[in-house]
Structure 1
């Protein structure tokens, strides 16, 4: 039975058997029975890590250890509000800092990002509206049906936990609900290239 550790671009954490391309961390969210409680974070340094690093191995959801979260790809991690890890993804982390114009310790940026990605005490995702024409590739939006779609080139890619569905046409203009936090959208606009699962 799959564990509840697969993060969606909508911010939900679900149980799903598909393996993601990245792992993340928000602190200890599970109990001794590997069940998630109400909390969806314990700190503000939400990171995205590679699945393999220096031969390290972890048993998932061990008691008193952080909850391993998984993402289909980096675009999903961005939508959920996770930045690159400074240890296992040093090159991506440095590119991210440059695109975000971070010159202070990263904790200050994490606090700014947190205020624009999560609703305190309600554990909900902050969403907002924007003109689709102003959004860069790599951003997640909600379609008119309420489904998450990735903006990629001239297409919108329907999201599923197992991968992307058949691309549909991306309208030239129109107001949409944006899932990717505004600071992450700014990083993408500045030229950071998110890693995306094969559309």
Structure 2
């Protein structure tokens, strides 16, 4: 789908939704519309309310990264990172994941009054309200750690950590690192949008980078 041999650009996304520069390769591609200029520099954080996560390869398509007048290709370490940033599966290249996500999102967010006939645009509106403020600041909320499902992200010492198997692992562009933080009963700051966390609790299991799985196996 895309040519990954480009020079380093500000097109990697961390769990806060911030665009960073790193030589680390992403495992998923994302889209928020065209947010770069002719110099391949980021000039805005988004253009669309539909923030999606795509496959790196799809039907042999190839793209020049940050081509003029085309959408800006963004990249994520894993799907859990993309969800924390506020992205959801693409309808075209990830149809099964998209349908599964919508199913569990509706199941976990019955308070919204939506059903299977509800347009994804309505869900995107909810996600947009949950991901950033009107001033463009990342939205967070407080929750007890014990209530968080695998795949959610929290802030620990102002750094993003993945919640999985009752433990937390520190995020980096290259993978996850073990942590000395021991979760207790306290309320923590959650990065993953609230309705997505509810979708996880309802049954959606996001893909996580293999480095996290290695640490869990070693425990």
TM-score (structure 2 length as normaliser): 0.87
Match of 1:19 among 19, 25, 42: 25
How many residues are matched?
196
Equivalent residue for 1:177, pick from 189, 205, 213: 189
Match of 1:196 in 2: 208
Work out the CA distance in 1 between the residues paired with 2:185 and 2:60.
47
- 1:124 partner SS: coil
Match of 1:165 in 2: 177
Partner of 1:52: 57
> Is 1:152 matched up with 2:157?
no
SS in 2 for 1:4: coil
Deviation at 1:176, TM superposition (A): 0.6
Tell me which of 127, 135, 160 is aligned to 1:113: 127
Larger helix share, 1 or 2: 2
Provide Cα deviations, 1:40-92, integer angstroms capped at 9, x if missing partner: 11111110001011001111000110000000000000000000001111111
Structure 1 residue runs of 4 or more that deviate by more than 6 Å after TM superposition? none
- Alpha-carbon offset, residue 12 of structure 1: 1.0
- The unaligned stretches of length 5 or more in structure 1 are none
Structure 1 equivalent of residue 84 of structure 2: 79
Which of 36, 42, 48 pairs up with 1:30? 36
In the alignment, which residue of structure 1 is the partner of 2:74?
Answer: 69
Q: RMSD over aligned Cα, in angstroms?
A: 1.1
Contact 1:127–1:178 (8 Å) recurs in 2: yes
Structure with more strand by fraction: 1
Q: Higher Cα Rg: structure 1 or 2?
A: 2
